[in-house]
A = this chain, B = another copy of it.
Amino acid sequence: MSMITVSWGDPMVRGRLAAIRQRAPFIYGVTNYVAATLSANVLLAIGAAPAIGTAPGWPGAFGRSAAAVWINTAALMSTSSHDIVHVASCAHEAGVPWVLDPVAFGAGSAEYDRIVMRLLDCAPAVIRGNASELMALAGADGGGRGVETAHGSHDAVRHIQTLSSESGAVVAVSGATDYIASGATIFAIKGGDVRLTRVTGAGCALGALIAAFLPVSDTAAEAACAAHATYAEAAGRVKTVGTGSFGVGLLDELSVLAGLQ
Which residues of chain A have a CB within 8 Å of any CB of chain B? 24, 26, 28, 32-38, 40-41, 44-45, 49-58, 60-62, 65-66, 73-74, 76-79, 81, 104, 107-112, 115, 145-148, 197-201, 240-245, 247-256, 260-261
Contact = CB atoms under 8 A, between A and B. Distances in A.
Contacts of A41: 198-200, 243-244, 247
B244 A51 contact: no
Contacts of A76: 55-56
A-B interface, 7 closest residue pairs, ranked by CB to CB distance from nearest: A242-B252, A57-B109, A244-B251, A53-B77, A51-B146, A61-B108, A40-B200
26 contacts: A24-B148, A34-B37, A34-B52, A35-B37, A37-B38, A40-B201, A44-B197, A44-B199, A49-B145, A50-B146, A54-B77, A55-B74, A55-B77, A55-B109, A56-B76, A56-B112, A57-B108, A57-B111, A60-B109, A61-B107, A61-B109, A77-B79, A198-B255, A240-B252, A241-B256, A244-B251
Nearest to A249: B244
Contact of A55 (B62, B110, B112, B255): B112
Contacts of A251: 242-245, 247
A252 B256 contact: no
Given A56-B111, A200-B37, A256 B244 contact: no
B49 A146 contact: yes
Contacts of A109: 55-58, 60-61
Contacts of A248: 242, 244-245, 247-248
A78 B80 CA distance: 10
A253 B260 CA distance: 21
A110 B57 CA distance: 7
A219 to B, nearest CB: 25
